[in-house]
Each structure stands twice: as C-alpha cells, then as structure tokens.
Amino acid sequence: MKTKMKIRVSIVEDNLRLRGSLTKLIDLSEGFECASQHETAESALTELSGVKPDVILMDINLPGKNGVDCVRDLKPLLPKTQIVMFTVYENTDLIFKALAAGASGYLLKQTPPAELLTALQDVHQGGSPMTSHIARKVVASFRQTGTVSRELEQLTPREQQVLDHLAKGFLYKEIADAMSISFDTVHSHIRKIYEKLHVRTRTEAVNKFHQATPSSVQGATAMT
C-alpha cells in the first residue's frame, strides 16, 4: 500500500518559542512534516530553494527584511510553494501587500492549532485560507473599492483629467495651464468633482482616486 505523502511545511518566524511550538505541532500532526525553520527572511531566501517545501508559514515583522518583501523575493524561486502569512497584524494595507506579493493565505497568530492545520491542508490543495476576521476586511475593502469606482464613473472625461492632475500634486493654476483652461473653470470642475465623489477636501478626493482601479481611471483620462 502506497504511503500518503506528508505536507512539508517550512516556518519563517523570529520568535524562538513560537517557532518551536509550531514545529512541534506540525511534526506531531498526522500528514504533516516540518521541513525547515528560519529565523530571518535572509536565511529563508538563502536556504529554502534547497528545501522546496510545500507550504511556508511566514511572519511579517522579521528582523531585517520583512515578511512581505521576503514573499515577493521567494515566489520566483519557489513558484509551486504556497505561502501563508502568520502574523498579529490586521492592517488592511498589509493584508493586500502580502497577497499582492504572492501569499496565498493570511492567518492571525491566535488561530487555534486545529484551524491552523486545516488551513495548511487547504492551501496545499489550492485554497486561500484566511482568518474569518481578515476575510471580512478583504470583502469590505472590495465593496468600498467598487463603490468608489462607480462614483468615479460619474465624472466626465474632463473632470477625471482634473482629478488626475490633483492626484499628481498639481496646483489649481498648474492644472489650468496644463489643460489650457481658465482658473475659474478649474474651480468649477473641482466643485463638481467634490459633489459627485461626496467629499469636501482635495485630500479626500485624491484618496478616493487612489482607492479605485488605476487602469480604468488612467484609461479615461488618456482619452481626453
């Protein structure tokens, strides 16, 4: 009878006690094997190419290079290895940076051992495990982005161009010169932009601009 292959997991974690606990959990669990342990991103980048684990558990707050940058550098070296962030951070920006860098999952360190093992199995089988609280943050962020995109679609091509200049830091007079329009016309466009985006300041308008899909906005402004 053919023996079922174990899921080989590598751990990148600078906390010695936690690293030891994770190693023990993985090695003592049926169907899993701890392939290697790494205290820093630098050692992980040097050694993991030779280990070729199935899954990597990656901390974010590492000494030296952080976990997100480590993921970004590791993925080209280990394209078939799945990486799960294992961290205390719930910051939405960090979540998306980690996923954009190549991570397939995002778990908080208070995740119960049984759930952690299930997540490792899930990601090995092609899933994208996330702590439920993190998943809600991701969904909420997508909903917000969708709302902002719909608001931006209400802008005329000319208003989108003005907003693009605002996002680049142009002053009102510089926008007028760049677009060959009067200072008063710039003010009129900006007033309408504020109304359509439901904002009251330049900063709020620019923030909404950056929340939207850049390609859709840039494509619209390029046509003017």
Res 180 pLDDT > 90: yes
Residues 12 and 82 in one domain: yes
Q: Which domain holds residue 12?
A: 7-134
pTM surpassing 0.75?
Answer: no
pLDDT of residue 204: 75
Does 222 score more than 70 pLDDT?
no
User: 33 and 106 in one domain?
Assistant: yes
Domain total of the chain: 2
Tokens encoding 13? 């974690």
Question: Which of 103, 134, 165 represents a domain boundary (last residue)?
Answer: 134
Please, what sign has the CA dihedral across residues 39, 42, 43, 48?
positive
Burial class (CB in 10 A: 0-12, 13-18, 19+), 191: exposed
Dist. CA 224–CA 217, nearest whole Å: 12
> Measured in whole angstroms, how far is the alpha carbon of residue 30 from the centre of its chain?
32
What is the mean pLDDT of the segment spanning 79-101? 87
